[in-house]
Structure 1
Amino acid sequence: MHLSPSPAEEAVAAELADVRPSLGPSYAAALDGARAAVLTRLWRALAFEPLPWIVGREHAPDGLALLLAGGSRLEGPLPDPYATEPYVSELRVDGSPHRQAARLMTALGVPHGEQFAAELDACTASLALSRAGRTTGEERAPRTTWEWEQRVVDGHPYHPNCRSRPGFSVAEQLAYAPEHRPVVELGLVAVRAEECLVTGDWPQELRDAGRVLVPVHPWQAAHVLKQEQVRPGAAGFAAHPLMALRTLAPVDGGAHVKTALSARLTSSVRDISVYSIETAAAVSAFAQDLSERLDGRLHITRTLGATTAYNPDLAAVLREPPEVYANAAAGERVIPVAALASFGPARSPAWRAAFARLALSVCLRVLELGVALEAHGQNLLVVLSADDAPLRLVYRDLADIRISPMRLARHGLPVPPLSGRLVTDDVSVLRRKLFGSLLTGALGATAGSAGAFAEALAEVAALPVTSDTGALLTGSLPTKALTLMRLSPGVPGDQWAELPNPLVGG
């Protein structure tokens, strides 16, 4: 069935014809695959999230029907909550087929669906652009962590807005998005030292005559900050964008630079809060002490310095690169978990079992001690031996972990001098933070299907029994209700769904 291009698909094609016409044919060829990828993610959300206008679900051996409050019936294949390969090419509303996620949402006519449909349309077009920019043919194996990161072309493995780039033109996506493999020139904003908050050790090369030099992403400079305030990038501040897009690895090496980028990517606006800067040094020091209790199986990248002009739109964090925790002389290397889909050995059930054993044992031990890591595929990395065996974990970005003073005290650990959103003793919050990132995120996506995930999750049965492992073995698994969140603009914070746990069959 021939599909006419959507408005966003047409707009990207028109702009691409102006700025990179050579990609036009590849973009057109990538559209069908991008449509199926977004539709598959949307079907997962519709099948499992507690959307208020879905009033019933009818299961059949060959599919699922959703009954809508207005009387309509939405039908599709049996949903796999952990699938990462597209398997949904069509969904039917009252018998009418839909192969584009945006047009499906429009047909459903649900509250706030029109805006979400526009987001899905833009995401589909951006995903096709990302795939079109992927180098074809034989490629050499990545030699650096940033090269592995730039292999993550499709973005979030489960979010329908997996490759959402609102506010970015086609030219800007090609210039700044990691999957297009650009080199980005960071600018600098000079702020009087007395007008800045600095924590940690801010390097001398980023100071100038009583001023703090704040690295700034060029998109931020063009769209949010006054252009005349931004100095051109200094020598050494050409950088490779990582999969987070706003975090970059300098071409000349050294600390990774997390910049403020006030755009909404997938679900959240990516600025850097003043709270994150205020707590950065204390959280980093606390995390280093914690990692020393884990027999060398977990390294946490240090926050070297952080600064803000008391403005979430003008701030930066300097973070230790994860490569420092790999012994290059012994052939070790570090790969982000999100990039394991393009790592050949990760297709082996035996390799996935070994990785799951490592990740579960370490992260559940950290949770027992009192810290819930946000261990999704972007924050969690694995150190590999020369023969590809998973050896250790590296965790980065401490801005959204959760710390339990009660659990720390139970184990005789010092409680860091912190307050605010990072600190909670709520068991459900702690478990959701870890389970929803590591299990229904990193491990589920690495497995790529419910069956393979069941094999990986079986590794938890061999771990020491704690209240957390007990909950993991007996209940459903939490995941962020990402579509519900996009369709609930007046509801702050995270919302949650429950996914079937293959270990308990429910």
Structure 2
Amino acid sequence: MFPSSSVETTLARESADVRPDLVTAYAAALPGARAAVLSRLWRALAHEPLPWIARREPVREGLVLRLTDGRRLHGPPADPYATGAYVTEVLLDGRGHDRAAALVEALGIPHGAAFAAELDNSTASLALSRAAQPHEAPAPESSWAWEQRVVDGHPYHPNCRSRPGFSAAEQLAYGPEHRPLVRLGLVPADEGVLRGEWPDWLWDGGRPLVPVHPWQTAHVLRRGAQEGPVAHPLMSLRTLALPDGGPHVKTAVSARLTSSVRDISVASVETALVVSQFAESVAARTGGLLHITRTLGAFSAHSPDLAAVVRESPESCAELAAGERVVPVAALPVTGLPASPAWLAAFTRLALTVGLCLLDLGVALEAHGQNLLVVLSPSGEPRRLVYRDLADIRVSPARLARHGIKAPEVADRMVTDEEAVLRRKLFGSLVAGALAAVAGGAPALGTALESAVRELPDGPDLAALREEPLPAKALTLMRLSPGRSGDQWTGLPNPLVPASAPWGQ
């Protein structure tokens, strides 16, 4: 018997064709996947400034949302930092819904139909990801292998595993959590924008070769490609690690995965080397606590659909001592860390020390769990950080000038002196994102923050972190606002000031 939604049914049939051994496991994984996506959606409904929610009322049995049309949503208390699948049903005027897509359809909100389709896709893909996990696997020895252990995707986005346009066979062949080897294609380019050093293996005589993801070759470029090397897909799916400690290759995948279309703009290629060199020079001011994965080369064939960036691996830049390892922050929970409140406090202190140092200098990192990695000692203690993918940092010329640093010539969208924008970028990604997901809930996050901030130097940025609501991207509001570009934000209750922003308003 097939599951109830059409997307779940389609993915079930497709996976049965290519992996009949997964049929039972996929069906068994569906209830948990539905709860995981519904929990993320309930968090958004409870904390984002959605225009059709009139007010939020904590009650003894949980939380009630009063809609502008008079209807009533009822669900459990919504910890904005919880990562578990704790919501199995939400009541809309007394009628229960256990699937996020069905709830959105029942709400009948503007742009809800497209969002509901993405939620269905996210649920079905998550069930497939969970079903295909091996029962036993050796402990990873590299950062790319650790991040392939992140099965559930984004910890807070309802579209955590949304992969529209990917069949079951393609998800199994390209999804990092399925641990495949992906063979890159190589497309010759007669002309384009080249920055940095393009590796020798990416030349065909005098013509550069653009490494291309096979999904992009089949669905977007619709042209042949030379056979390239095999590589290990990372959490972002479109970035892959070459074997034997080789560099990482960021390719264009012009599909909407989670929230964004994963292509590579011409402007980001043009400034890739400048941004990399600038970030490396600023990171040097942290006293060795932060390493930047350098961009080695970037190329665009004058198209966001045919472009690539080659950067060094985290292991290459981290100057590892004997026994040290590099782990993406998003993968920390699957390593068994944090092992104790003391460990989480130490990691929080390290992350805030680095993030606030760079923010004071004039660089706001988008330090979420995918971009930020931690160097662990042989016993698992956090020692240093590694940051990768500089495309979404923000740079403040005014702050840089105060420290005698010349502002780089980068894309206009990266440049701002607005304090709120700079703090949102860092705090929204690092505190409400990476640290919260590692903590797994408000109590543990609050304890770690309280311990860490006592040992940090005072300043206006730290004061804002202590006293103001924590900024977070309003991910669901953004998906329901197709006519508006750019990020939208909400304020989450600050564990350091519990009454600062009840219910994110």
Q: TM-score range by the shorter chain?
A: over 0.9
Unpaired stretches in structure 2, ≥5 consecutive residues: 501-505
| Aligned ranges 1:282-297 → 2 under 5 Å | 282-297=274-289
Counterpart of 2:336 (choices 334, 341, 344) is 344
Instruction: Tell me the residue number matched to 1:479.
Output: 472
Judge which range, 377-386 or 415-424, deviates more.
415-424
Contact 1:56 1:66 in 2 (8 A): yes
| Aligned ranges 1:421-460 → 2 under 5 Å | 421-458=413-450, 459-460=452-453
Distance 2:206 2:274 in 1: 25
Q: Does 2:464 align with 1:466?
A: no
Instruction: Tell me the residue number matched to 1:200.
Output: 196
Distance 1:391 1:62 in 2: 43
Judge which range, 321-330 or 345-354, deviates more.
321-330
Distance 2:380 2:488 in 1: 37
What letter is aligned with 1:93?
L
Distance 2:319 2:292 in 1: 16
Instruction: Tell me the residue number matched to 1:316.
Output: 308
SS of 1:156 mapped into structure 2: coil
Q: Does 2:363 align with 1:371?
A: yes
CA-CA distance at 1:71 after TM superposition: 1.2
Matched pairs, number:
498
SS of 2:54 mapped into structure 1: strand
Tell me the alpha carbon deviations over residues 249-304 of structure 1, each in whole angstroms, 9 at most, x when there is no partner: 11243210000110111111010000100110111111111111110000011000
Moved over 3 A (4+): 325-329
Identity %: 65
Instruction: Tell me the residue number matched to 1:19.
Output: 18
Instruction: Tell me the residue number matched to 1:141.
Output: 139
What letter is aligned with 1:211?
R
Distance 1:31 1:470 in 2: 44
Distance 2:122 2:171 in 1: 12
Instruction: Tell me the residue number matched to 1:186.
Output: 184
Instruction: Tell me the residue number matched to 1:157.
Output: 155
What letter is aligned with 1:178?
P
TM-score w.r.t. the length of structure 2 is 0.97
Instruction: Tell me the residue number matched to 1:50.
Output: 49
Q: Does 2:92 align with 1:93?
A: yes
CA-CA distance at 1:419 after TM superposition: 4.2
Instruction: Tell me the residue number matched to 1:499.
Output: 492
What letter is aligned with 1:231?
Q
Tell me the alpha carbon deviations over residues 319-342 of structure 1, each in whole angstroms, 9 at most, x when there is no partner: 110012445551000000000111
Judge which range, 390-399 or 341-350, deviates more.
341-350
Judge which range, 241-250 or 455-464, deviates more.
455-464
Contact 2:102 2:116 in 1 (8 A): yes
Q: Does 2:334 align with 1:334?
A: no
Distance 1:18 1:482 in 2: 34
| Aligned ranges 1:239-254 → 2 under 5 Å | 239-254=231-246
Distance 1:33 1:348 in 2: 27
Tell me the alpha carbon deviations over residues 314-372 of structure 1, each in whole angstroms, 9 at most, x when there is no partner: 00000110012445551000000000111113142111111000000111110000000
Unpaired stretches in structure 1, ≥5 consecutive residues: none
Contact 2:14 2:168 in 1 (8 A): yes
Instruction: Tell me the residue number matched to 1:304.
Output: 296
Judge which range, 260-269 or 412-421, deviates more.
412-421
Instruction: Tell me the residue number matched to 1:82.
Output: 81
Counterpart of 2:212 (choices 216, 219, 224) is 216
SS of 1:22 mapped into structure 2: helix
Distance 1:248 1:28 in 2: 30
CA-CA distance at 1:122 after TM superposition: 1.0
Tell me the alpha carbon deviations over residues 374-418 of structure 1, each in whole angstroms, 9 at most, x when there is no partner: 000000000001111100000000111001010000011122123
TM-score w.r.t. the length of structure 1 is 0.97
Judge which range, 267-276 or 414-423, deviates more.
414-423
